[in-house]
Structure formats: C-alpha cells, structure tokens
Structure 1
C-alpha cells in the first residue's frame, strides 16, 4: 500500500500557505525530574483549593489537565510556574529547570510601547538583529510589523508574541493555560506541530480538543479539591462532565423556609433553572449527535480505504476522492469536538451561576 501511494500524485498538504513556521529552541540542559510536587496543598492565603497533590514532570511528559471551571487547574499551573507558593507539601524544582509559562494575563504584561523586535532584544542581548527578525518571522511578524508597538495589536498578535518569547527562551517545561484562545486556525496548527516536536515536558489546559488530542498522551482530572489520573479519552471526559454537573445539587434552603409558600417558590425556581438550561442542553445534545454521525462516516471511509485493491493505479481517482473526503471529515470532526466541549463548559458555568443565585 505504501509503494502504491508513493506512485500517486502528491496531494497538496493542508495549510501549505500558512504564514507560521516556528519551533521551540532546544534547551541547553535538562534535569530529571524537572519538577516534583508531593502532598501539595495549593491555593491562596486563607483559601485552600487543592489538597494532597502529587505530580512529577519528567522530560517528554505530555499531560492535559481536565476539570470543571474553577476546580483549580489554573491554581495548579500558577503554583508550578512559581506565581503562587504552595500552602503545604514539598515542591522540588530540577537544577536545570527552565519554564515556559503561557497564560492569558501575560498578554497584558507585554510592554505596549515596545515592538516585537524590542521585546525579543531585551531577552536576547548580543544576538544579531537579523537572527531575531528571522525568528519573529516564523510567528508572522515581518517587515514593518516587527517594529510596530504592541499597543494596537490584537489579542491574537499578542498571544503570538508571548509564545515567541517563550519559544526563544529554550524551555524544557511548558506550562500552557489556554494557549489557543486568541489564535486563528493556522496558528493553532503551527503551535500543535511545534509542541509535537518539543522534547521537553508539556502540561496544558485547553478547550481545544484537537490540541489536546495531538499533543498529550495522558490526562489528570482536577475536581473536588484533588488531582487524579483520568483513565479515559476526551469523549469519556465529556460524559464525566455531564454526569458531574447532574450530581451537583442546589444549595439547601434555610430550615425556616420550609412552609408551603417557600416550597412552591423552590419548585418555581427549579423550573426556571431547567428552562434557562434547556436550550444549552439541546445544543450540546445536537453537537454530540452530529459528532456521532461524523464518526460513523469516518469509520465507513476507513473500511473502504482498508481495501488493498483500492490502491491499484486504475483506481487512483477514486482513492484521491476518498482521501479528500476523509480529510474534510477530519476537519469537521475537530470543529464539532471543540464546539461540543465548549457547549458543555458553557452549560456547566451557567448552571453553577444559576444555582449560586437560587
């Protein structure tokens, strides 16, 4: 089959015209483990968020953090990045640890009066200007754009610059908190490819299912004050999230409000809650159904592509059509997966707010 495919005309790869082409520079030294957290109590002064956290990161680790909004994913990453200090436990950092940390609040920390080139020159003293311009070009900062102040940059441009500064720093551990929020499709693909080639460790929080599927090989679940191994894939997590929300009960009414009038008000409030959640639940169900249909179509195509006779030269056009359909369905699958998980997160967030106000 491989020999037969080699005889076919090359299909133009998707994203061939992407303006992005970059990689994370290789770290000078590496420690193993890079970071070791044991019996960690994490949170803020006066507020414990996570307890008994055990996490060891070694070179090559690829971990995705899953969990409901507000469960402590960002708290964990901030602690590992030294933006927060552990409230308890032991956190050991490797002698040669170099962290590349990306979070949305870092976009606001960029100097609005400085250009991308000046930002990079500040951390690359003595490097040739042309080398820095070439590096920034991989993030689509070219020509005059390389010299313009960040002040008027879009969120996506600021995110690209923040990633460029991280990539230049030769990290051996990447801590990424929603790195694709402001990025377009082409930049998301370029980031995915760069992470696949990265030799250090990666810990990432993201709603981008394609990024998680393409760059991680294990998951940790952050929920109910704990960080535990998650034995499943992203579809399993989506189902877990629905079940988790269904198990969350509204706060109990005060005992003094147990008369008939208050019981009637509680029933009315519950009905109003269901009514507000209903359209979001329908949207999530619709996306799940559409995703199942795409999975069935892909399974059918895979079965047809498994036929060895399809790779004979006389059936070249048929094979090309099937591969094109498969590629289009893969793109659609990624879009639906991301939309489905986002719909579930939206449903979860809305339900939490409504319950808190009930």
Structure 2
C-alpha cells in the first residue's frame, strides 16, 4: 500500500499501490511542468527587460533589481520522462499447422542412477498444438509445467512416445536458466552477431538499440549487467530469430516494470503461437485465451478463467484435508459400520460440528461486514475525488493547495481500498474453507 520511487538519485514516497503511483506521478509531473513553463515565461520577461533597459540611466536601478531577482530565483527543473520501453515480435516466416503433435509422450528426467528407473512426471500425453493458439499452463508448483515446456522446446528429451514438429517450426524458448547460457565476457553485439554473422553491424546495433542496448552498452561485456538486463538481452535474441512458437517459462521474473509491460504488450500482438507458464496474472489475462491444467501426472483443458482456477485450488485443498481426516479416523480403528451404529450420537455430533463451524465463521463474518462497510465509505470518497480530478477548474492556480491535498487523499484512499479488497478476498476464502 506504499510505493517508493527511485529517480535521479532521490527517493519519493507515494501512498497506494503501483496503479495509484502511476496516476499520482503523472499528475505531479503535469503540475511540475506547468510551474516550470510559468517560471520560464517569467525569466524570459525579466531577461527581456534587463536587455532593453540596462544601458538606460533612468532604468538602470530597475534593471539591476531584476538581475538580483534572477540570481535569487530558485530554478525549477523541467520534467524529464524516461523514454518508455516498447518492442514488437517480428512477423514469422511461416506458420505450420499443426505446430507440434505429442502421441503417448512421457515427460520427466533420466534415471538418477544406473540401477534406477527414469523419473516420470507426466504420463502418456496426447496433444496437438495448433497454429494461433495462445495457451496458459496452470498447476501447482512441482506438477510438471516447466518439465512439459522443456520437452516441447527439445531442451530435454521425452522419456517415451513420439513428438513430431511441423515443417518450418521455429521455437523461441525463454526460461530463467537460459540466462546462464549467456557469455559474460561477450557484449550484446557479439551475442547477436553469432546469430546473424552476415548482417551489417549497423543493422545489429539498431536492433539492439530498440531493446535499450545503445552506444557503449551494446559493445560492453555483459558481466556487470543486472538480471533484468540479461533477461532483456535473452529476449532480444529470441525476437531476432522470428519464432512462430513461443515457449515462455516465468518470463517476467527478472524484468523491471517497464520491460514487463512491454513484453505483455508485445505478446498480445504476437502473430504466432504461444504457450506460457507464469504466476503473473496480468500477463496471463492479457496474452492467453485458453488454459491447460497440469496436475496428477497429466494435462487436460481447464474450462474457466483465473478466478475459477483459484476456486479449483481451494476445493482441492479442502478435499485433501477431508481425505487426511478420514485416513486418520481409520488409523484409529473406526470402521464405517461403527460410525453408523448409533444414529442419535451421530446426529448429536453433527449438531455439535455445525455449532463449532458457526462459531468459527462468526468472527470472520463480523470482520467481513466491517470491511464491507469501510469499503463503501472509501468508494464514496473515491467517487468524490475522481469527480474533482475530472474537473478542469481543479487545475487552476487558485485551487493548487486543494489539488495537492486531493492528490494526497487519492493515494491514501486508493491504497486503503486495495488493502481492504485483499483482506475481503482472504476472509471470503477462509469462510469458504470452513466446511
């Protein structure tokens, strides 16, 4: 609920989440630029007076006072907005259909020891990947999402079955471990030249410049590069190769916010086929239109959106708890016949259990009600602030103090609303789990 922005070797604190930060920063930059423009006009007016009258004896004193005024003036800086980063994927040369076909494929890892069997994660997969599909892979950690992507990318071999690639398939594979394949002693230009040895250097430099590797940065060793800069370089190498199938495994992990948003926009416009694994819900919503669920050693279509997937995870967790409870009861020697022997005791136990669950739900429901009331108050305040901000008169000089107050209030209200919405979701989930 607080964002700290680092710029020009200074820290500035903003109330609210990233979305509120963007809004507040843009508004503050607009005010700063407006003040700077007004000051520039004032400076021009003073300098014009000094230039015209400094030689006239009758005006010399007035001109000198204006010189002193200029010297004492605290100069405002113009707004310098860092150039936004954006790129796009190059149009693929071909589009085979199907892209890839899996028949009876087992995915996993080779035997860890000579006398041990292979480690199979996914069994007997049959799948046809069609051109133009935009697939998000869902599933808990450890279920095999990355293993599947590695197999599709031929980064590791299938343990069994057949995997056929369409003619003209060009895979672009991006995963975190690929950053380790970059050569620290080489420059971005050397990395790209290895892919395109016959391309003019200026063309390679222009391309790298579109990924913010300009000037000396294009020819310097990448060893001191940050994780995000190396990820951006790996991404640029993929884009250069004009893939028609993109396989992305957590592509945004090391990326800064600007590059992450640029990647999201580029993927939304990508004309090829896409398969992505990501915990970034914004990325999945913006770039995919169907989901495959990786669970229990297989994959299957998931009919729903990310909210449905969250609900599915909650049901799975509840089912596991119930199964564990049943297993514990059987370990204690209880049999189905014994559990139904005394109906009256069973009904009493059920009533006690209902009362227990009610007592568990009660404080949660009470807190939920308080959260909803506070959210209603804040929504009303937000509506009033939005109305004020939408009025052009609010930006007049006479309203400057109120505008700054409303900007501050907007960040506070937005930040508290986001916190309450997260709490509301958490309370709802806790209540749903009490079954």
Normalised by the length of structure 2, the TM-score is 0.56
Q: CA offsets per residue over residues 50-90 of structure 1, 9 Å max, x none? A: 12323222222110001000000001000000012222232
CA contact (8 A) 1:98 1:170 kept: yes
CA contact (8 A) 1:18 1:186 kept: no
Match of 1:147 among 181, 195, 219: 219
| Cα distance, 1:102 vs structure 2 | 0.5
Match of 1:58 among 114, 130, 133: 130
Q: CA offsets per residue over residues 276-310 of structure 1, 9 Å max, x none? A: xxxxxxxxx9xxx8xx98xx99xx89xx9xxxxx9
Match of 1:27 among 92, 113, 116: 92
- Whether 1:122 and 2:209 are equivalent positions in the alignment is no
Q: CA offsets per residue over residues 246-290 of structure 1, 9 Å max, x none? A: 43367989x9x989xxxxxxxxxxxxxxxxxxxxxxxxx9xxx8x
Match of 2:162 among 82, 90, 97: 90
- 2-side partners of 1:165 and 1:246: how far apart? 45
- Whether 1:177 and 2:239 are equivalent positions in the alignment is no
| Residue 110 of structure 1: aligned partner | 182
| Residue 106 of structure 2: aligned partner | 41
Describe the shift of the 1:225–1:121 C-alpha distance in structure 2 as closer, same or farther (beyond 3 A): same
| Residue 193 of structure 1: aligned partner | 265
Match of 2:284 among 183, 206, 212: 212
- 1-side partners of 2:156 and 2:164: how far apart? 14
Q: Any idea what SS the aligned residue of 2:313 has?
A: helix
**Structure with larger RCO (C-alpha < 8 A, sep 6+):** 1
- 2-side partners of 1:123 and 1:161: how far apart? 13
- Whether 1:243 and 2:315 are equivalent positions in the alignment is yes
| Cα distance, 1:205 vs structure 2 | 0.3
| Residue 66 of structure 2: aligned partner | none
- 1-side partners of 2:319 and 2:222: how far apart? 46
| Cα distance, 1:317 vs structure 2 | 7.5
| Cα distance, 1:238 vs structure 2 | 1.7
| Residue 302 of structure 2: aligned partner | 230
- 1-side partners of 2:242 and 2:320: how far apart? 43
- 1-side partners of 2:315 and 2:192: how far apart? 46
CA contact (8 A) 1:64 1:216 kept: yes
Range with greater deviation from structure 2 (186-195 or 28-37) = 28-37
TM superposition outliers: structure 1 runs of 4+ over 6 Å: 250-253, 314-318
Structure 1: gaps (5+ residues): 1-10, 260-284, 305-309, 345-358
User: Over the residues paired in the alignment, what is the CA RMSD in angstroms?
Assistant: 4.0
- 2-side partners of 1:242 and 1:181: how far apart? 25
- 1-side partners of 2:90 and 2:257: how far apart? 23
Tell me the matched-pair count. Answer: 280
- 2-side partners of 1:33 and 1:77: how far apart? 17
- 2-side partners of 1:96 and 1:122: how far apart? 21
Describe the shift of the 1:258–1:161 C-alpha distance in structure 2 as closer, same or farther (beyond 3 A): same
- 1-side partners of 2:105 and 2:393: how far apart? 59
CA contact (8 A) 1:66 1:222 kept: yes
| Residue 293 of structure 2: aligned partner | 221
| Cα distance, 1:185 vs structure 2 | 0.9
The structure having more radius of gyration, on CA atoms, is 2
For 1:307-318, what aligned pairs fall within 5 Å after superposition?
none
- 2-side partners of 1:223 and 1:153: how far apart? 37
Describe the shift of the 1:316–1:129 C-alpha distance in structure 2 as closer, same or farther (beyond 3 A): same
CA contact (8 A) 1:19 1:140 kept: no
CA contact (8 A) 1:59 1:199 kept: no
Describe the shift of the 1:317–1:92 C-alpha distance in structure 2 as closer, same or farther (beyond 3 A): farther
| Cα distance, 1:17 vs structure 2 | 4.4
CA contact (8 A) 1:34 1:59 kept: yes
CA contact (8 A) 1:22 1:135 kept: no
| Cα distance, 1:125 vs structure 2 | 1.2
- 2-side partners of 1:52 and 1:21: how far apart? 41
- 1-side partners of 2:146 and 2:103: how far apart? 18
- 2-side partners of 1:171 and 1:121: how far apart? 18
- 2-side partners of 1:210 and 1:146: how far apart? 31
Describe the shift of the 1:18–1:222 C-alpha distance in structure 2 as closer, same or farther (beyond 3 A): farther
